[in-house]
Amino acid sequence: MVSEHSDASGGESTALALKILVAGGFGVGKTTLVGAVSEIRPLRTEELLSEAGQSVDDTGGVDQKVTTTVAMDFGRITIRSGLSLYLFGTPGQDRFWFLWDELSQGALGAVVLADTRRLEDCFPAVDYFEHRHIPFVVAVNCFAGARTYGAADVSRALDLDQGTPVVLCDARDRDSGKEVLIRLVEYAGRMHTARLLDSVG
């Protein structure tokens, strides 16, 4: 997505806005990450967890969670002058996955948030982006009290394609979240360039 605007000198400058998805399992910190890094008040579509959803919403390990995203979260961050990221947080439960196809249209790449206490919860997101050839990084959200694993251990446990970045982060911290997004933009840029060169080779 590219938009142009006039600069102070009256000339035209190009501002680049890139679409990024933030995905992962239920309760992993997607809404928290989008809210922490967004420079605008984030749009949230959260609803209270209900008794009716107890049989399908596994709150093991996230006992304090009382709300869930039912459509998407939206935020925006300026990485540097002329480069903004539009962030779309996806819902974590499988009953809302029909929204992912719509949200992924036109996305540069994705952040898959992972919680080492419930690592299996991010398998569906990893599979989704791998099968659609959407570049992604895995960001391990380091929760207090959770056992710490290195990036190589997480990569092996998720059976990631060689070269897929794994980074450790704190979804509550703006600088930490921004570093994750920068890693994704750099990685996705390399992947898209390589594919372009392959297509003309």
pLDDT tens-digit map of 71-105: 588 999 999 999 999 999 988 766 667 788 989 99
Quick check: 63 pLDDT over 70? no
pLDDT at 52: 47
DSSP state letters, 157-197:
HTTPPTT--EEEE-TT-HHHHHHHHHHHHHHHHHHHHHHHH
Q: What percentage of residues in the chain have a pLDDT greater than 90?
A: 61
DSSP 27-44: TSSHHHHHHHH-SSPPB-
Q: Which is higher by pLDDT, 65 or 81? A: 81
Predicted confidence at residue 144, as pLDDT, reads 81
Question: Which tokens belong to 189?
Answer: 């840029």
Q: What is the three-class DSSP state of 11?
A: coil
184 — pLDDT class (breaks 50, 70, 90): very high
Tell me the average pLDDT across 147-175.
95
- Each residue's pLDDT tens digit, 114-141: 999 999 999 999 999 999 999 999 999 9
Can you give the pLDDT at residue 86?
97
- Residue pair 99/71 in contact (Cβ under 8 Å)? The answer is yes
Q: What was the pLDDT predicted at 182?
A: 97
Measured CA to CA, the distance from residue 93 to residue 135 in angstroms comes to 22
Alpha carbons within 13 A on the beta-carbon side of 18: 21
Give the pLDDT score at 51.
53
Average pLDDT of the chain to the nearest whole number: 84
Tell me how far apart the alpha carbons of residues 102 and 105 are, in angstroms, rounded to a whole number.
6
Q: What is the pLDDT of residue 13?
A: 56
